Amino acid sequence: MANCNGWGLGNWGESYWGQGDQFAPVVVSQSPPCGSENINKCAPIILKVASVGCSDLDLDCVRITLNGVQIYSGAGLTFGVDQNDGWIGACSANSSVTSESSSIYNDVWVFYIDCGCFECGDTVEYSGTFCTEQGKTLSVSCSFDTAKCPYIREVEEIDRNHIVLRFSTPLLNDIKINPALFNVNSYQLISTNLGIAEGKFVTPKRVFIEKGILPQAVILETDFLTEGASYQVVASSDIIDKFHQNLEERGLGTLVVRSTRVDDMLKKLPRTYVRRSDVNAERKVTPYHIAAVLGIENDRLGGDFGSDA
């Protein structure tokens, strides 16, 4: 026991034999921290509560709620015997109550809360009541925000055969863990009626992933797109981000096809040059890449380099 200031508790509470239990329980740590953001939606909640003084924590009074629903009750339970029987519903499968030693506190109880994954972009709120055997009470409340769902944030046309998809959160660049990201069949261009021309059926031919461990963009190489046609670019929900959250569709991938500076520059290349992003199935720097870099930058700056005017 820690810091009893004497021989301990007297038979009638506080006495000259010891100071007794004059303090409410305290929070040792909380994970995730209260007020934190971008938390993995499947992360467990770990709450450590300790007693200060000589008496033990009283499990009978413990109550924990999650998003307004009670998930634990210690009523009638005894620590070291049946403390894990207090979990309720979905939280009962993987949650636990254990203890750990401390040189500072008397008892340290660890409440490991795993009720399954939350939704991405959610605010998670939990609260709890804890007390000592002498009725000193601690009330805890906390909230945190899970990471927002990944989605296609915007699309940009490079030329009438290449489209950039930019995502809201970094993705996992691992073909074993995130195979859908690398699969060209994960992407679709759906013709819509927002353009001034009717779009033909278009099939993505190749997908190129941004270099790096956590890419946020891919380039689709497609069939030749119809100028003036409109397409909705969508990707498979099997694509996951760094938090292992699945991609959701928000309708932000709308594209109206136009002739870009890159298209203008490619028209002026001799036909002997390959106009794709690979040569003989290998990625190489080609006249296409040079034209793309110059054309994209010029297009963004609003210049007329490479135009037919």
Residues of the chain with pLDDT > 70: what percent?
77
Q: Which of 103-107, 126-130, 187-191, 273-277 has the highest mean pLDDT?
A: 126-130
Q: What is the pLDDT of residue 11?
A: 47
What's the sign of the alpha-carbon dihedral 296, 298, 304, 308? Answer: negative
160: which residues sit within 8 A by CB, 6+ positions away? 224, 225, 227, 257, 259, 260, 263
Q: Quick one: average pLDDT of 233-254?
A: 92
Contact 157/257 with Cβ under 8 angstroms?
yes
What phi and psi values does residue 291 have, to the nearest 5 degrees? -65, -40
Q: Quick one: average pLDDT of 252-276?
A: 71
Q: Quick one: average pLDDT of 154-169?
A: 90
Q: Quick one: average pLDDT of 138-162?
A: 92
Integer Cα distance of 181 and 172 in angstroms: 8
What phi and psi values does residue 264 have, to the nearest 5 degrees? -60, -45
Integer Cα distance of 105 and 2 in angstroms: 6
What's the sign of the alpha-carbon dihedral 150, 156, 157, 158? Answer: negative
- pLDDT level of residue 24 (50, 70, 90 thresholds): confident
**Is 197's pLDDT higher than 90?**
no
Claim: this prediction has a pTM higher than 0.85: no
The token pair that represents 65 in the structure block? 């709620």
- pLDDT level of residue 305 (50, 70, 90 thresholds): very low
- pLDDT level of residue 285 (50, 70, 90 thresholds): very low
Least confident of 34-38, 106-110, 184-188: 106-110
Integer Cα distance of 209 and 61 in angstroms: 54
Q: What is the pLDDT of residue 259?
A: 77
**Is 90's pLDDT higher than 80?**
yes
What SS3 state is found at 139?
A: strand
The token pair that represents 84 in the structure block? 């894990």
Q: What is the pLDDT of residue 260?
A: 74
β-pairing, 45-50 with 162-167? unpaired
**Is 181's pLDDT higher than 90?**
yes
Contact 256/195 with Cβ under 8 angstroms?
yes
Looking at every residue in the chain, the average pLDDT score rounds to 83
Contact 295/264 with Cβ under 8 angstroms?
yes
Domains present along the chain, CATH in parentheses: 26-145 (2.60.40.1220), 152-258 (2.60.40.1220), 262-309 (no CATH)
| DSSP H helix total and E strand total for the chain | 3, 15
Integer Cα distance of 33 and 285 in angstroms: 47
